[in-house]
Copies of this chain bind each other. A is one copy, B any other.
């Protein structure tokens, strides 16, 4: 079970690196790959054939960043400002950036018949947390096949369903686009008001929300379910994530339904089943897909705060979702619980969690929180918008959720630039970033312990 631990994988990676064939660290290679993809996407979206009107270089860069980081924040409306070519570029960037970058690198190395280079191996070790190189190929293929199969089924369902009102070609184009966007947790839509027209359409809402959950729960979980099939044999990690996902989605669902049922601007006008579908969609999409079927600028402040929390937590590790990740959140809850109740260990479903994992979660949540706080602080200098809207857009970008209280398109250039940085940092993981920037020397000096008063 060591295979779910990136630190251990990194140690394996270091063994690989010691051969001398690999220079850069995997996080840096990943970051560089993302950056290349963003720049390529920027150029493609900047081409005159991508837009129905002129698109500035910065607009193209913002949209490419939003696509590659599977965020979905927009400063131009893909439904009306992009040509079909531009839309295809956008959704391809989403698929590459989401499913994406690493899987493709590994798969292509395999399908080309070459032995994977050591560099690819090390990348894959980090990306899939596998310690054995031979297992990576199987895992990479499994991820790829499963993902494509899920997307194909959903695209067929949506095509058939939408075909009732639309020509087959239009229906299938829209189905494929929204399937890719949903599975990759990128909230881009071919409609200016996102999925509002489907607010009480059960087939569309349930298909899209299932795609979001499957894409966002994390490949280790999907892989484990694929291997085991029975609950009792699942890894503790898988069980915890499944239960946590269910809990968060249900809490969001019930809270949003209760808080908004009388709000004429959101759920108030809908039938009871329609309210249920809309509340469910809004709960699921907040972690961290970003589609909307209701007008989120009209949400009650309480619901908005809840959604900010759901966005901050996000999806499963190694998924198309971002945020601090549900595993991190659960470890922190368990750590607090174990401290309060004087347990010697942090325990989850009768398995103890290592202090290193707890410390990692702590660092992650504090660094992410500090980034959000610092960014909000900066943006309040540039912008006159209400504080809650600024907080919402910042957390939406940092968690690569992409929901917007209609503020992002109207922000000043420095704020929009800040959002691109947050999307990039949010997708690569604040921790990965600081990790890769850090020197790796371990101090040989031992210090005497000092007791230190806290609280």
- Give chain A's interface residues, CB within 8 Å of chain B: 1-6, 8, 129, 218, 220, 235-237, 240, 259, 300-302, 305-306, 309, 316-318, 324-325, 327-328, 331-332, 335-336, 339-345, 347-348, 350-355, 357-364, 366-367, 373, 376-377, 380-381, 386-388, 391, 429, 431-432, 434-435, 438-443, 446-455
Asked if B454 contacts A327 (CB within 8 A), the reply is yes
Asked if A449 contacts B351 (CB within 8 A), the reply is yes
User: Which of the residues B3, B220, B380 comes within 8 Å of A302, measured between beta carbons?
Assistant: B380
How many Å from the CB of A231 to the closest CB on chain B? 16
Using Cβ atoms and an 8 Å threshold, which residues of chain B touch A391?
387
Using Cβ atoms and an 8 Å threshold, which residues of chain B touch A452?
4-5, 236-237, 240, 327, 331, 348, 351, 353-354, 357
Using Cβ atoms and an 8 Å threshold, which residues of chain B touch A360?
339, 454-455
How many Å from the CB of A430 to the closest CB on chain B? 8
Asked if A305 contacts B341 (CB within 8 A), the reply is no
Using Cβ atoms and an 8 Å threshold, which residues of chain B touch A343?
442-443
Using Cβ atoms and an 8 Å threshold, which residues of chain B touch A447?
345, 347, 350-352
Asked if B218 contacts A435 (CB within 8 A), the reply is no
**Known pairs A237-B453, A317-B454, A380-B301; A440 contacts B387 (CB<8 A):** no
How many Å from the CB of A236 to the closest CB on chain B? 5
- Given contacts A327-B454, A332-B366, A351-B448, 6 further A-B pairs with CB under 8 A are A5-B451, A6-B453, A302-B377, A317-B453, A325-B454, A344-B442
User: Which of the residues B302, B355, B432, B450 comes within 8 Å of A455, measured between beta carbons?
Assistant: B432
Of chain B, the residue at the smallest CB distance from A333 is: B366
